[in-house]
Amino acid sequence: MNRDTRMVADVGGTNTRIALFDPAAGELRGLTVFKNREYPSFDAVISDWLANLGEPAPRQCCIAVAAPPARDLVKMSNMDWSFSCSELARRHGFRRLVRINDFESNAYALPHLDSEQLTPLQRGEVTGTSTTLAVVGPGTGLGGAFLIRMPNGERHAQACEPGHSGLSPVTELELELFSLLLTRHEYIYSELLVSGPGLLRLYQALAEIRGTVADASQPAEISRRAVAGTDELSILTLNTFCGLLGSACGDFLLNTGSYGGLYLAGGILPGMATFLSASPFLQRLQAKGAMREQLARVPVQLISSGHPGLVGAAHAPLG
């Protein structure tokens, strides 16, 4: 048995992806996607995957999970799962188990993504001093991380929480929108609006402002209508969403000094690359006063395919 193989898992708010990484072959095998709502616990998901693996179980494991930092007990942010890393290792025979943040894992994946998995949005200009990369992605929430290249050539990822940073209105419509939402929320933070649930919240609030009917009940339906150009309210909603995402991303780049490149991840954006390019996203990303020219030089790419969470978990250091 190859003891260097590792189980890699990307545990999100909606789905869990698990695969076996074989470093000798440089490949992922046994990739399976699980719907979280169909399982009572993450432990049950691992048991199901191992039972159907069809080869010896690995002895190493790296879990990327959407949860706040913790020593051993992991409590997920956007669902009611919790688990002990030491107990999982004991139950499933892992001699080494490392838990990292899901966007930390996305960051570790960045050097291993090829051009076929990326859609350029802003070509930018990479210089020798631009060594820090950032990844941001709206999904169930809004996550982010950055990747620093150390002097010895190694890379270190640092998870962040851009979804809980403040968000400010820029346009007159956004001022009206924020005024309405502040009657219902204590304050406006990024993932309140820049996320899957946030897209629906935007749609409903804009319908109220415009005095029209909000008949879509799912974020995916709003995105589909907007991309197809079949519904004016959905188009307005998605453009507003993209503008707010651009503002949040510009702030994140400035706060982390990530001028080597911005990568967009998450489950919402891959199906709307053309819409995103034509939206206010890039204009708002750059609209940061004296830092406009600096941000205009940052390469921006959309991760349009693959499984970056698993790739990052495959290449993250195990300690």
Summarize pLDDT for 116-156 with one digit per residue, the tens: 999 999 999 877 677 899 999 998 889 999 999 888 888 99
Are β-strands 142-149 and 133-138 bridged in parallel, bridged antiparallel, or unpaired?
Answer: antiparallel
Q: Which strands form 261-264's sheet, in the order they lie side by side?
A: 118-122, 300-303, 261-264, 133-138, 142-149, 155-160
Non-local (6+) Cβ contacts of 30 within 8 A are 18, 19, 20, 49, 52, 53, 54, 55
pLDDT range class, residue 316, cuts 50, 70, 90: very high
pLDDT range class, residue 1, cuts 50, 70, 90: very low
Which residues make beta-bridge pairs with 147?
Answer: 133, 157
The answer to whether 98 touches 61, Cβ cutoff 8 Å, is yes
Cα→Cα distances 194→61, 100, 241, 269, Å:
32, 23, 6, 11
pTM of the model: 0.90
For 6-94, which CATH superfamily applies? ATPase, nucleotide binding domain (3.30.420.40)
pLDDT number for residue 227? 97
CB atoms under 10 Å from CB of 169, counted, come to: 16
Overall average pLDDT of the 79-98 stretch: 94
Instruction: Tell me: pLDDT of 308 over 60.
Output: yes
Average pLDDT, the chain: 93
pLDDT number for residue 264? 98
Summarize pLDDT for 43-73 with one digit per residue, the tens: 999 999 999 999 999 999 999 997 777 789 9
Summarize pLDDT for 295-307 with one digit per residue, the tens: 999 999 999 988 9
The answer to whether 98 touches 319, Cβ cutoff 8 Å, is yes
What is the rounded CA–CA span in Å between residue 303 and residue 263? 7
Summarize pLDDT for 202-211 with one digit per residue, the tens: 999 999 999 9
What are the residue boundaries of the structural domains of the chain, listed by start?
6-94, 102-305
Summarize pLDDT for 211-230 with one digit per residue, the tens: 999 999 999 999 999 999 99
pLDDT number for residue 2? 44
What is the rounded CA–CA span in Å between residue 301 and residue 111? 13
What is the rounded CA–CA span in Å between residue 99 and residue 97? 7
Are β-strands 142-149 and 118-122 bridged in parallel, bridged antiparallel, or unpaired?
Answer: unpaired
User: How would you class 127 by CB atoms within 10 Å of its CB: exposed for 0-12, middle for 13-18, buried for 19 or more?
Assistant: exposed
The answer to whether 192 touches 201, Cβ cutoff 8 Å, is yes
Residue 155's H or E segment, with its range, is strand 155-160
What is the rounded CA–CA span in Å between residue 142 and residue 203? 18
What is the rounded CA–CA span in Å between residue 295 and residue 120? 15
pLDDT range class, residue 187, cuts 50, 70, 90: very high
Q: Give the CATH fold of the 102-305 domain.
A: Hexokinase; domain 1 (3.40.367)
Region of 76 (left: φ > 0; alpha: ψ -120 to 50; beta: rest) is beta
